[in-house]
Amino acid sequence: MFFRAIALAVMGFMVALPVCAEKLRPEMLVTTEWLADHLKDPDLAVLCVDSTPEFYARGHIPGARQIKLSEIAVMRDGIPNELPSTETLRQAFSAVGVGNRSRVVLYGERSNLFAARAYFTLDYLGVAGHAALLDGGIEKWTAEHRPLSMETSSAKAALLTISPRKEILIDTAAMRTLAAKKPGSVTLVDARPAKEFTGEQLSEDVAKAGHIPGARSLYWMDMLVSRENPVLRPEAELRRMYTELNAVPDQPLVTYCRTGMQSSFDYFVAKYLGYEPSMYDASFYEWSREDLPAETSPKK
């Protein structure tokens, strides 16, 4: 069959062969080896995303610039970790030297969780086409005994033109509509720990137990080798995880968690695997506050 397909292709025939419908986006991930070889690239912008000064101060990748989580995720209407205005976000990234020609590499606190949130934010601004996560983050970099710097790195503000993609940001009204759709027509992915999904344990500052009806569970850390070695699991394993969620190409896939942080990682991996995800930023925090229905059930 294989040789027949080649022969037909040579003869100019169009041959329909089974292929994976989701195409991997390898440019979204860089290795520590790649970064070490490109640290002196003039257009490279390495960003360390953190919430505490100590994370950056105790040693960062040479040339990395610090961007605080509080600059890209704010409290709004009593809901934590919401996106500020697009102009505020544009200025935050521009101030650390991210411009129209930058190649951005992200790493940060909590096993790259904050970096994934920064990636989602750049994608929301329409400028993630030249951004990537550092696979394994600072943990892998230091484990390999690569150089660290204690000096604060800064950069001139850069010209950054944004084209916001507001369609990837789902609000509560839209989430209610999606949750009410026919089962199987949309994939809702809950990125919280399994016990929070099932309702055995409440999420922090959330009064309601369980998950949005119809959602499936994929705890974001399950996609990492380990907390100490936070590299992504092999592509085949990641694909199996999303297949088990019944994720389908050309079908809505929405990630959520407690407040839109953990779901940023599920969003990143879904996009890395070739899906076209969106994210419910206010997540279960607002869903429960609005007293919307929740399911308590074993992990699916």
How far is it, in rounded angstroms, from Cα 281 to Cα 21? 27
Overall CATH class of domain 167-289: alpha beta
User: Where would I find the beta strands (DSSP E) of 182-225?
Assistant: 187-190, 216-217
Model-level pTM? 0.92
Whether 26-164 shares its CATH topology with 167-289 is answered yes
Query: 188 with 196: CB under 8 angstroms?
Result: no
CATH 3.40.250.10 fits 26-164, yes or no: yes
Query: 212 with 294: CB under 8 angstroms?
Result: yes
Q: Return the bridge partners of 256, or none.
A: 190
Query: 36 with 147: CB under 8 angstroms?
Result: no
What is the chain's length? 300
Q: Along the 300 residues of the chain, how does pLDDT read in single tens digits?
A: 322 332 323 333 233 333 345 799 999 999 999 999 999 999 999 999 999 989 999 999 999 999 999 999 999 999 999 999 999 999 999 999 999 999 999 999 999 999 999 999 999 999 999 999 999 999 999 999 999 999 999 899 999 999 999 999 999 999 999 999 988 899 999 999 999 999 999 999 999 999 999 999 999 999 999 999 999 999 999 999 999 999 998 899 999 999 999 999 999 999 999 999 999 999 999 999 999 999 998 655
Question: b or e along 165-181 (b: 16 or more beta carbons within 10 Å of the residue's beta carbon)?
Answer: eeebbbebeebeebbee
109 backbone dihedrals φ, ψ, rounded to 5°: -65, 165
* Angle made by CA atoms 113, 169, 79, in degrees to the nearest 5: 70
Return the structure tokens found at 248. 């389908």
What H or E segment, with its residue span, contains residue 170? strand 169-170
185: buried, middle or exposed (CB in 10 Å: 19+, 13-18, 0-12)?
Answer: exposed
Distances (CA, A) of 284 to 72, 151, 209, 225: 20, 39, 10, 27
Domain ranges of the chain: 26-164, 167-289
